Amino acid sequence: MRKNSFTFRHFSVKQEYNAMKVGMDGVLLGAWVKAPCEVCDILDVGTGTGLIALCLTQRYAGAHITAVEIDRSAAEEAAENVALSPFKDRIHVVCADFLELPASFPKFDLIVSNPPYFSCGISAPERNRAIARHDESMPLGLFLKQSRKLLKLHGRINLILPADRLEEMRQYAVLNGLGLEKVCWVYTSASDIPKRMFCVLAPLVELPPIQVEETLFLTDETGRRTKEYHDLVKELYIK
C-alpha cells in the first residue's frame, strides 16, 4: 500500500488524489536541477503533487514557480500542498493543458519536467494514470516545441527521460532550435546500465561548444546508497 503523504525537511506532500505518486525520479530531478540564475522564473510542467516545484523553491530563495497540471484533482492537491508549505507565496498552481498555453503566457528562465515516459504500448487502465505516464497526451516533440516558445533567451530546459530516448530527444531538440548542453546518466547500481538520464537543453545560439557528460550512481556494489546520492538529496530529506 502506498503512503498518502510524504514529509520532507521543509514541506509535506499529500498524494491521495494524484495518479503519479512521489517517486525517486521527482526527488532526484528536484535536487539535481541547476537554475540559470538565483532570481528566476521557473515553469514546472506536469507538476503532479507539486514535489519538484516545492524542491526548487526550497533550494532557490529567489525563485518564483508556475506549476502547470492538466488533471484537475492533481492540480487541486498540488495547490493544497503548496498552501501548507512555507513557499506558498512563490508557487502558483495552474490547471491547464501545457500544450495549449497561449502565446501571451509569461516566459521563463527555467522549464523543468518529469514528463510521460512511454511513446507507445498498452495504455494504463486508469485514464488519469495514462495521462500521467504515457506521452500520447504530450509527445516529446510537442513538449519541446511549446517549451521553446515559453523560454527566455538565456533560459534552460531540464528534464528526466529514459536513457534510450537520447537520440530521439536530440532530433526533436534541433528541430525546435535547441541543443543538448548537459546529460547526466543515472545508474541504479554500479553494475547496471543507465536506465534514465537528466538532460539540460539550451537555445542553439546559447549552446557551448562542448557537451558536458556526468554520471550519478544511486547504489554501490553492496546495494548501499552512495555518498553522491546522499550529498544530492540531503537538503530535502529529514535527517
φ/ψ (deg, to 5) at 156: -135, 150
Q: How far from chain centre, in Å, is Cα 119?
A: 18
Give the per-residue pLDDT at 210.
78
Q: Is 41 helix (H, G, I), strand (E, B) or coil?
A: strand
Give the per-residue pLDDT at 93.
98
* Structural domains of the chain, ranges and CATH numbers in brackets: 21-116+137-234 (3.40.50.150)
Nearest to 233 by CA among 31, 62, 20, 86: 31
Give the per-residue pLDDT at 16.
85
The angle, 0 to 180 degrees and rounded to 10, between the axes of the packed helices 72-83 and 51-59 is 30
E strand or H helix that includes residue 136: none
**Contact indicator for 65, 43 with CB cutoff of 8 Å:** yes
**pLDDT (tens digit per residue) in 157-213:** 999 999 999 999 999 999 999 999 999 999 999 889 999 999 999 999 888 877 899
E strand or H helix that includes residue 39: strand 39-45
Tell me how far apart the alpha carbons of residues 58 and 85 are, in angstroms, rounded to a whole number: 10
Tell me how far apart the alpha carbons of residues 94 and 68 are, in angstroms, rounded to a whole number: 5
Tell me how far apart the alpha carbons of residues 215 and 227 are, in angstroms, rounded to a whole number: 13
Neighbour tally for 220: CB within 10 Å = 15
pLDDT along the chain (239 residues), means of 10: 77 86 92 92 96 97 97 95 96 97 94 71 46 61 96 95 94 96 95 94 87 94 93 86
Give the per-residue pLDDT at 129.
53
Tell me how far apart the alpha carbons of residues 84 and 36 are, in angstroms, rounded to a whole number: 27
182 beta partners: 200, 212
